Structure 1
Amino acid sequence: MIAEKAVLGSMLKENYLIVESNLIAAQFTNPTNRNIFQSMTELRRAGKAVDMITLLTTYSPQDLGGANYINDLTNYAQIDKFDDHVSALLDVWREREKNNVLHIAAQEDWSIDRITTELAALTEQRTSDHSDISSMLIDVYEAPFVEKDIQDGAPSGIDKVDDMTNGFQDGELTILAARPSMGKSDVMLHVAKQSGWKGYVPIIFSLEMSATSLRDRLLASTGRFSRSRMRNPYKLLTDPQKEIWPKAVGLLSETKIQIFDGSRQTVPDMRMKIRKVMSEHTGLKPLVLIDYLTLIHTDDNKQTMHLQVSAITKALKVMAREFHCPVITLAQLSRAVEQRQDKRPMMADLRESGSIEEDADVIVFLYRDAYYTKDDNDNVMELIVAKNRNGPVGTVCAWYNKFTGEVLNRGTSSQGVIA
């Protein structure tokens, strides 16, 4: 029961975990713990603080194990290992449910197919994964006859890409891949800004660059300042640029971008931080951006890189579905690109490409011919949508200023965000 106590203790310390955990009372084995969780859930949904005092004054102390028991729960709290404790709790619940299924199956002489289906359903956290097709069809019966607003996803800020993908969709994993110096990080930051201005909360996990470096890049692209001037704005910015600076700062602050720049972050770390941000920005959808895929840390260093990447991409896909938000991660391409005449990326150029191709819903490659020709007047960036599970594929061209990091629709005036 230690896992149950650790889960409850963590929830007492961080109330947002009560709802974000997606647990239900029936999944707790200990009756007292079940009562405590049910009481915590009711208080949270009523908008009340959940602590020892509110629990004991709102509900029967006897049903909750008494004051000493509740107070002792906080000693088991481990916020950074919350997901691990939830997993352990669910493992016990699944084993219990599996035994119940087998017991009932033996009594009622179930078929092998039914037993297999019931046991398979336990591999998911949800207590029910059942959908009746008749009920589902009611929702779309009038679809051809009644105009309905199409729910756009998180915008990329590049119109033709958004036309192809309808924006980055909730529950989908997008891979943004390119060779070094093609502009991956700048495109990521461009997406973060555009989505932030449209009401999302962009959450950036930067495993390579520091938060201050990202801040300076964001300011440079927003105000159209050369990055070389960001080293010392006081000395290097011109007077007209200094006049623009406050407006750029104000615009950027409106994006609500959140940055976590720890160098050895794991997927469970990210999940915990996403929950925290969501609790602080209720009513707003998160957009998760990761720089970059193979820098995500795993605890199993004995696995091959291929198996590690496979485990990570699957975990990211699960994360996108669980939080019902878009997840975009940057990825590096292999050096094989450099050996070809046409250096535009292909699927096979993805490092550990098999698992990435399988798990990603959308794969976008970046390519700039100017990187190879060294032509500073060529500012065309190609965004090659190579995989799009629910839409078309193709190539979109945008303008890219490598000195400021600004990305624009092709044909847009280059005056930038600040006119």
Structure 2
Amino acid sequence: MLMNAITTDAPRDASTLANAETEAALLGAMMMEPQIIDIAADRLRIEDFSEPLHGRIYDAIVREHSLGGRPTPITLRPIFLNDPADLDVPSYLAQLTGSGAGLVGYRHFIDQIENLSQRRALALALDDARAGAADFAIPLAELVDRADAAIVASVERRESSKSTTLSGSIGMAAKRIAEIKANDGKVGFTTGIRQLDETLGGFEPGCLTIIGARPSMGKTAVACSAALGLARNGHGTLLVNLEMSAEQVGMRMASDLCCRAPQNWIPFERIVNGTTNAQEDDLLAKAGEHVKDWPLAIEDGAGMTLARLILKVRRHRRQMAAKGQQLRVVMIDYLQLLHSDDRRQSAYETVSEVSKGLKAMAKELGIAVVALAQLSRAVEQREDKRPMLSDLRDSGQIEQDADNVLFLYREEYYLERKKVSKAAQDDHERQLAETRGWLSLIVPKRRQGRVGESTCLFLSNYQAVRSAEWGR
């Protein structure tokens, strides 16, 4: 048979991860039934075929079809008269249409070809990682990053477009409206911090939200309080901190958790310094016991790459699912500390790649991604310190990819450091008293809603953020 004359370029150790007969049957079905071409073209790439000749035939069929032609052994014959394959390709094309078996099982064939292609790519990635491990000139950390990136690339499919009818789109909109009404007007997952939830509408699945601020504005406190609130409301949350260890994050959250009733407050500084008393130690132990079943995970990862982050998110998603929980929100503190898989990239290129990758991850996994971001020092050079979109550091791509942008601003911080004359001292003290403990939430971009601003409480001694009316 002509099939037996085909040789494969697939690596020897991946020879069992190919099925030339399946590929041949699908190609024959595509030439016999044009409707199958569109279905296959939405799923398969040329490189998904283990036999190079089959990839070339597939490409010719799709091109002929896209130009309005009818791909058949006859119409494709001129393309393959000088093909480099070591057999009579025009005759082989006729052989492919000799059986109608592919017309019945073409969907299964597409699934198998795609699956085997991914498995071959994974096998090659693992082989490359094994070979690299023997090269001691390559740092171990770089090897791990390369392996992570290769594995992610091998199993992730290219982004595929999805289409629907107008009626279907309206149906989706109606379903979304019903969900918003059932969630008290919120479109996403809520934190319990009223002003934050109302300003953003909650963290919505498939969306990337950027929370930007200068140092000491309370970014990490917002992330920790929001993560605790999300988990308290039953929304599975993963907090990835690239700057602090899990222990350091835990100390902040412990102070936040104990800041619920006047008699339970434990200042963050006392927890850090280990100067808590016996009663406070008991409260901390009870807080830890109280949250042990909450759907909240903390991942610390200094020097983490985008590829490794995606792997960890997928792993935590599986682990939560095994517990009957669902990962809803991933929070990253902070964006500029994520590395590209290509260490040669500039800071601008790295931030752009990371930004696009986070948005793609949100869409693909159907989760809300919240990334904290450091703002440019240009803020400090202005008289008005309130952040603007142009202050997003390193890349305009962040603003483009983000569905929502939230800026944090504490006027109290700048007033405390402002030098004033004796004549203006009274007025300065009044302004300081009015702004003490308040955190401004500024939303200059919200893709699915109105921009605006609100104010909530920032309890700096307890590293906690609360609704404006809290405790009143």
Q: Same fold (TM over 0.5)?
A: yes
Which of residues 366, 386, 393 in structure 2 aligns to 1:344?
386
Deviation of residue 145 (structure 1)?
11
Alignment-derived partner of residue 58 in structure 2? 100
SS in 2 for 1:371: helix
- Where do residues 184-263 of structure 1 align in structure 2 (5 Å cutoff)? 184-224=219-259, 225-233=266-274, 236-238=275-277, 240-263=279-302
- Where do residues 164-183 of structure 1 align in structure 2 (5 Å cutoff)? 164-183=199-218
Which of residues 395, 399, 402 in structure 1 aligns to 2:457?
399
SS in 2 for 1:403: helix
Deviation of residue 128 (structure 1)?
6.6
Alignment-derived partner of residue 110 in structure 1? 68
- Where do residues 219-368 of structure 1 align in structure 2 (5 Å cutoff)? 219-224=254-259, 225-233=266-274, 236-238=275-277, 240-282=279-321, 283-368=325-410
Which of residues 151, 163, 185 in structure 2 aligns to 1:130?
163
Structure 1 residues not aligned, in runs of 5+? 9-28, 36-88, 112-121, 415-419
Are 2:352 and 2:395, in contact at CA under 8 Å, matched by a contact in 1? no
Deviation of residue 107 (structure 1)?
6.1
Structure 2 residues not aligned, in runs of 5+? 1-9, 24-43, 70-113, 115-155, 260-265, 417-431
Distance in 1 (alpha carbons) for counterparts of 2:297 and 2:21 = 34
**Could you state the TM-score of these two structures normalised by the residue count of structure 2?**
0.62
Q: 376-385 or 336-345, which moves further after superposition?
A: 376-385
Answering whether residue 199 of structure 2 is matched by residue 160 of structure 1, we say no
Deviation of residue 34 (structure 1)?
8.8
SS in 2 for 1:208: coil
Distance in 2 (alpha carbons) for counterparts of 1:144 and 1:356 = 28
**Could you state the TM-score of these two structures normalised by the residue count of structure 1?**
0.69
Deviation of residue 261 (structure 1)?
1.1
Deviation of residue 222 (structure 1)?
1.1
Alignment-derived partner of residue 442 in structure 2? 384
Counterparts in 2 of 1:143 and 1:230: CA distance versus 1, 3 Å: closer
Distance in 2 (alpha carbons) for counterparts of 1:4 and 1:397 = 61
Per-residue CA distance 1:332-369 (angstroms, 9 max, x = gap): 11111111111010011110241111000111000001
Query: Across the two proteins, how many residue pairs are aligned to each other?
Result: 328
SS in 2 for 1:385: strand
Identity across the alignment (%): 30
Distance in 1 (alpha carbons) for counterparts of 2:230 and 2:47 = 40
The one-letter amino acid of 2:350's match is Q
CA RMSD of aligned residues (A): 3.6
Are 1:154 and 1:169, in contact at CA under 8 Å, matched by a contact in 2? yes
Are 1:382 and 1:398, in contact at CA under 8 Å, matched by a contact in 2? yes
The one-letter amino acid of 1:407's match is V
Counterparts in 2 of 1:176 and 1:133: CA distance versus 1, 3 Å: same
SS in 2 for 1:281: helix
Deviation of residue 240 (structure 1)?
4.7
Deviation of residue 170 (structure 1)?
0.3
Q: Which has the higher helix share?
A: 2
- Where do residues 1-20 of structure 1 align in structure 2 (5 Å cutoff)? 1=10
Alignment-derived partner of residue 31 in structure 1? 19
Q: Radius of gyration: which is bigger? A: 2
